[in-house]
Amino acid sequence: MRNTMLVGWVAAAAILFLLFAGGVATADEMKMVGDVVKIEISGPNAKTAKATLKDTKTGKLVTVIVNDDLTLDKFKDHRIVVGDEIRCKYEVQDGKNVSKYFRKTAGC
């Protein structure tokens, strides 16, 4: 009887942990589609850039920090420019929107 109760408590604790951990991992990830309004790059050797997007659903402006090399190269050689429609996933880290996925909706 005692072993059965212990197994029950351990199982319940494991289920609660999985539910809590799963909710935390996806809670701050946001998705959006929007038009590029502004791109700010510090210079030709910059490792980060700020892209301001206008959300197509809400019309709200969202600034996203981009730090992956592929997207930075696309900014620098003008494959992604102001006016392009972008599909973006980002996470909120320390109050800043940090890009996890940043691509043209038409492909690029």
Determine the pLDDT at residue 39: 97
End-to-end CA distance of the chain: 62
**Using CA atoms, how far apart are residues 75 and 71, in angstroms rounded to an integer?**
6
Determine the pLDDT at residue 24: 46
Residue-level length of the chain: 108
Summarised one tens digit per residue, pLDDT across range 14-55 is 665 655 655 444 457 999 999 999 999 987 788 999 999 999
Beta-ladder partners of 38: 52
Higher pLDDT, 108 or 28: 28
For 29-104, which CATH superfamily applies?
Answer: Nucleic acid-binding proteins (2.40.50.140)
pLDDT range class, residue 8, cuts 50, 70, 90: low
Contact 81, 99 (CB under 8 A): no
Sign of CA dihedral 68, 43, 96, 85: negative
Query: For residue 44, which of 83, 70, 75 has the smallest C-alpha distance?
Result: 75
